[in-house]
Amino acid sequence: MIAPVDHLKHSGNLGRFFIDGRWVAPHGSGTSAVINPATESLLCHIPLGDRHDVDAAVAAATRAFPAWSQTAPDARITLLARLEGLMEDNAPLLAHCMSQEMGAALSYAKAAQVPLAVAHIRTAREVLARFEFTSQRGTTAIFREPIGVCALITPWNWPLYQITAKVAPALAAGCCVVLKPSELAPLSALLFAGLVEKAGFPAGVFNLVQGDGPEVGAAMATHPGVDMVSITGSTRAGIAVAKAAADTVKRVAQELGGKSPNLILHDADMERAVSLGVATAMRNLGQSCSAPTRMIVPRTQLAEVEEIAIRAAEQIIVGDPQDPGVTHGAIANHAQFARVQTMIAVGIAEGAHLIAGGPGRPEGMVRGFFARPTVFSQVRPDMQIAQEEIFGPVLCILPYDSVEDAIRIANDTVYGLGAHVQGRDLPLARAVASQIRAGQVHLNYPAWDPHAPFGGYKQSGNGREYGREGMLEYLEVKSVLGFSVPD
């Protein structure tokens, strides 16, 4: 297979932006290095845009919006289905790309990063196929209409998945978009833009501008021609975007940080609950905003939990992402690797009981942003490692004395994105779930549901993604009174 960078060079798209249906040279003069986190070697440089590039993309989207917003749903469904098929056809290339640009094990990129991204497009099609844009309440008609031009800002940890989670419902709703992917993992976005072009979407409906947050992100958030901003990123970045967008009173949807609890009840199957809990927290090397990195367990069963957690951590194989026997690759970038190492040191200094992993790279590794899967036990809720999002393979085990105590610990955070509850007594598990202040709760490790709305309480953001609720974010509500004559 041709390497992703070589593929982009061969297509001529590597140093260009996709604006108004064409690949164009950027106006901005800055560049950013794209580093392979497993080798610390340079993959390529990409150009960074500026406000002039944003102006051009927003102008193209604005021109395209009147026609696109009036297309029949069936026409949009057809184009989304074509894009879905192209992504499936190019899945090996996309997986290889993400393995190189953000360090995911190739096996994981093939099993999760790509298929779940494709699922968002399929879900948008399914929602659109049965969505009623017009309803009637008495003599009043209620219309749901596309909001307009949407600026979409996506992160580096799930680079393709987060793109399709925003682009697909926005296009399904009839909006036009300007996408800014993370400059740290931008190559899969370029491949995606090429597939959008090949699928045949009208010029200006989808636009891609590379850039960083302070320049391009800020220009998108403040732009008077942008009707909505949707950002997935840190809480700090989400606050900055909301402040920047305030002057133009545009809608802002934010999917931000998390410190998700995994509350294990006394009657749970401990072997299953703890081992899957470790695996789920370490999924994507813990670089998921909803990763359940606080395992809340009965104090009376702490010793058993620790034994199971140690065994589970030992099953994780960190190494060369291209090795088919490796389960976990490298941390996505140097800054995040340094953050993980700092927080492991903080946990040790705070007196948490280190039972697996620890600082530094795994044994025998001298290069690459590889981190040891780390488990701390006997963690107190007030410890820094229990309160701050680490965004790496670090799990905290917190003991509790009663169910009420466990719920209090689960809610003792500024975040409220995801949560897990484990227990054989399903009515009790449901009751506990109802008391956790989080936007999505998983009971007993269910299958992922792309139609389940996802988003946060508190500082984890506002708005929802996925499924019907995800498309509603991109729609305005118009009521027309007197639409029909009373009987």
Rounded distance, CA 375 to CA 279, Å?
12
Rounded distance, CA 127 to CA 451, Å?
9
Residue 84 CB partners (closer than 8 Å, separation 6+): 118, 121, 122, 125
Closest to 17 in 3D by CA, of 47, 41, 39:
47
H-helix or E-strand containing 267? none
Rounded distance, CA 429 to CA 423, Å?
6
Residue 243 CB partners (closer than 8 Å, separation 6+): none
Q: Among positive and negative, which fits the CA dihedral 90, 84, 107, 44?
A: positive
Rounded distance, CA 87 to CA 402, Å?
48
Answer for the pair 117, 336: CB distance below 8 angstroms, yes or no.
no
Rounded distance, CA 329 to CA 157, Å?
13
Rounded distance, CA 483 to CA 449, Å?
38
How many helices and strands, by DSSP H and E, does the chain display? Answer: 17, 20
Count of Cβ atoms closer than 10 Å to residue 348 Cβ: 16
175 part of the active site:
no
Answer for the pair 199, 79: CB distance below 8 angstroms, yes or no.
yes
Q: DSSP string of 85-117?
A: HHHHHTHHHHHHHHHHHH---HHHIIIIIHHHH
Catalytic residue among 44, 97, 176, 289: 289
Count of Cβ atoms closer than 10 Å to residue 486 Cβ: 6
Q: DSSP string of 337-370?
A: HHHHHHHHHHHHHHT-EEEE--SSPPTT--SSS-
255 part of the active site:
yes
Catalytic residue among 84, 101, 255, 473: 255
Rounded distance, CA 200 to CA 210, Å?
22
Give the rounded distance of the alpha carbon of 127 from its chain centre.
20
Active site residues: 255, 289
